[in-house]
Structure formats: C-alpha cells, structure tokens
C-alpha cells in the first residue's frame, strides 16, 4: 500500500445497516469499496452487485496440466526401459486411469490455491485501504462488526460521513 490513502471508513453493528450503507454509497458513485465481515454474507455480495470470482479458470487449467503430466510421465517411463510384465501391453491405457485422475486432482487443487491467493492480492492492491494504526489494529472485524472502507477525496468526507451516520454506523473515521 505505497500510495497515499484518503477516505472514510466506518463500522456497523448490524448487517442490514451495512448493506443499505453500501447501496447508498454505490448510488452516490463510490464503486471501489472494501468491506469487512466476520463471515461471508451474501447480503453484502448483493449490495456490492454480485461480483464474480475467476478462480475456476485456474482450476480448469490445473486439471489439464495434471492430466497431461500424468499421461506423459506414464508413457515416457514405461517406454524408457521396456520391462514387460505378464500379459500386459508395454504401454497400456486402461491402467493409467487412476494416476491420470489423481494427478489431475492434485494439480487442480494447487492451481486453485495459487489462483485464489493471486486474485486476492490483485484485488487488494486495486482497492486502496487506510494505513492508520487505528484501522490496522481494529480487531472486531473477525468478531462481530461489519466495516466499510470508502476511498474518497477530502471534499467528499462530509457526504460519505453523512451516509454512514444515516445508517447509524458505530464509528466513522476520516483517513488523511
């Protein structure tokens, strides 16, 4: 978070207040919001206009990678040193099933994790957040408080605060 942050952040005790506040803010043209919730709430997603995650694409890619990897190593290794066993063909496809599946799963999972982390970092960098100690040490977001962070310029402070207070935010802080 190198870049200077200016804006307002507030906390709410109630979910519905939070959602109304978010809607109001977005109507007022503040799109780059960051919210804090103790647990995932679909109400918030709706309020934010149901953004979609791109993680599944990573998973799909992982699946393909795993599958190809398995196919290659199995074919290569059996042909690298030909050791026939019983009546089976040297390169036999039916027996590849289990390993193909397992490796596909494995890769899918790895790609999903890395995709998730990557996407989260990307979004976090795109959305500025306060740097003040007050914000960083606020420890009730993971407990029972909802938070909304609105990046805005100094002359919008009153406007944003008004919206916060309208929905009875617990605390409202300016960050400059």
Partner 1 sequence: MSNITYASINDDILKSLEPPGKKWAASLSVALTMLAMGIFAFGYQIRHGLEGSGINNPIGWGVYITDFVFWVGIAHAGTLISAVLYLVRAPFRTSIYRASEAMTVFAVMTAGLFPLIHIGRVWNFYWLIPYPNQRLLWVNFKSPLLWDVFAVNTYMSVSIAFFLLGLIPDFASVRDESKGLKKLIYTIPALGFRGTNHQWMHYMRAYLIFAAICTPLVFSVHSIVSWDFAMGSIPGWHTTIFPPYFVAGAIFSGCAMVLTIMIPTRMAFKGFDQIMKIKDLEAMAKMIIFTGLVVTYAYSMEFFVAYYSGSRYERAIFWFRPFGELKWFFWGMVFCNCISPIPLWSKKIRTNIGALFVISILVNIGMWLERFNIVVTSLAHDFDPYAWSMYKFQWVEIWITIGSFGWFFMWFFLFVKIMPSLAVAELKEALNPPLRSAK
Partner 2 sequence: MNKGIKRRDFFKLAAVGGATAAAAGCEPDKVENIIPMLVPPTEYVPGVALNFATTCNECSAQCGLVVRTREGRAIKADGNPKNPLNSGKVCAVGQGAMQGLYAPSRQKGPATQKGGEQSALTWAEGKKLLAEQLAAAAGSVVYLGRPATGTIKGLQSALGKTFYFDPQPTRAIKAGNRIAFGKDEIPHYALEDAKVLVSFGADFMEAWGNPVANLKGYSKMHAFQGGSKGKYIHVSAHMSLTGTNADEWVDCNPGTEAQVALAVAHELLGNASLGGGDKERLQSYLADYSPQAVSAVSGVSEEAIKALAESLSQNSPSLALGGGTTASGSDATALQVAVNLLNYIAGNLGKTVQFGANYQMGGDSVTEILSAVKGAKLVIVENANLVYGLPAGSGIKEALAKVPFVVALSTEMDETTALAHLHLPTSHYLESWGDANPRTGIKSLQQPVMAKVPGYDTLELGDLLLELTGKGGNYRTYLQAQWGASDAEWKQLLQNGGSYADFSISGASLSGSAFSVKPKARKNEGLTLLPANSPLHNASGTTGNRTWFLEVQHPVTQLVWDSWIEIHPETGIKLGLKHGDEVVAKTAAGEQTLGVWFWYGINKNAISMPTGRGRTVAFPTYVSTRNKSILLPHVEMASDVTIKGIKVGESVNELLAFAVDDSGDLAFNETAVSLTKTGQEAWLVTTEGMARDDMERDPQGRLSSEIPGGMGDRSQKGRGFVQSVELAVALGAKEAHAHGHHLRERQYHTDLPSNTDFYQERAKDVEESNEWRGRDKPVYYEKYKWEMAIDLDRCIGCAACTVACYAENNINIVGKERIWSGREMAWLRVERYIEHNPETGKLETYYTPEMCSQCGNAGCEPVCPVYATYHNEEGLNAMVYNRCVGTRYCLNNCIYKQRRFNWRDYEFPAPLHLQLNPAVSVRTKGVMEKCNFCIARIREGKDIAKDQGREVFDGEVKTACQQTCPTEAIIFGNIKDQESQVTKVKSTTKRGYLQLEEMNFKPAITYLKKVTHDNKKA
Query: Computed from CA positions of residues 84, 88, 93, 94, in that sequence, does the dihedral angle turn out positive or negative?
Result: negative
With CB under 5 to 8 Å by kind, the binding choice for 113 among partner 1, partner 2, none is partner 1
With CB under 5 to 8 Å by kind, the binding choice for 44 among partner 2, partner 1, none is partner 1
The rounded distance, in Å, linking the Cα atoms of 165 and 57 is 41
Among 77, 133, 153, 155, contact with partner 1 (rule: CB under 8 A): 77
Q: What share of the chain is helix, strand, coil (3-state, %, to 5)?
A: 55, 10, 35
Binding mask 69-88 for partner 2 (x = CB under 8 A): ----------xx-xxxxxxx
How many C-alpha atoms does 110 have within 13 Å on its Cβ side? Answer: 10
Q: Are 8 and 140 in contact (CB under 8 A)?
A: no
Residue 29 or residue 94: which is nearer to partner 1 going by CB? 94
Cβ 76 to partner 2, closest distance in Å? 10
Q: Are 147 and 10 in contact (CB under 8 A)?
A: yes
Distance from CA of residue 134 to its chain's centroid?
A: 24
Residue 138 or residue 158: which is nearer to partner 1 going by CB? 138
Residues that bind partner 1 (CB under 8 A): 13-17, 33-41, 43-45, 48, 51, 53, 55-56, 59, 73-74, 77-78, 80-81, 83, 85, 88, 92, 95-96, 98-99, 101-103, 105-106, 108-109, 112-113, 115-116, 119-120, 123-124, 127, 139-144, 168
């Amino acid at each position: 978070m190198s870049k200077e942050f200016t804006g307002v952040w507030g906390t709410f005790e109630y979910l519905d207040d939070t959602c109304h506040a978010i809607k109001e803010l977005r109507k007022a043209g503040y799109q780059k919001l960051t919210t804090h919730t103790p647990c995932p709430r679909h109400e918030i997603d709706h309020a934010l206009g149901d953004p979609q995650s791109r993680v599944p694409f990573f998973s799909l890619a992982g699946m393909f990678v795993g599958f190809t990897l398995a196919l290659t190593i199995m074919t290569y290794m059996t042909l690298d040193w030909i050791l026939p066993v019983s009546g089976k063909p040297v390169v036999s496809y039916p027996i590849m099933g289990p390993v193909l599946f397992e490796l596909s799963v494995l890769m899918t999972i790895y790609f999903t994790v890395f995709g998730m982390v990557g996407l989260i970092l990307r979004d976090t960098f795109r959305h500025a957040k306060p740097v003040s100690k007050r914000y960083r040490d606020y420890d009730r977001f993971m407990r029972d408080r909802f938070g909304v962070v609105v990046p805005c310029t100094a002359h919008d402070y009153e406007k944003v605060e008004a919206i916060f207070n309208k929905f009875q935010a617990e605390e409202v802080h300016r960050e400059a």
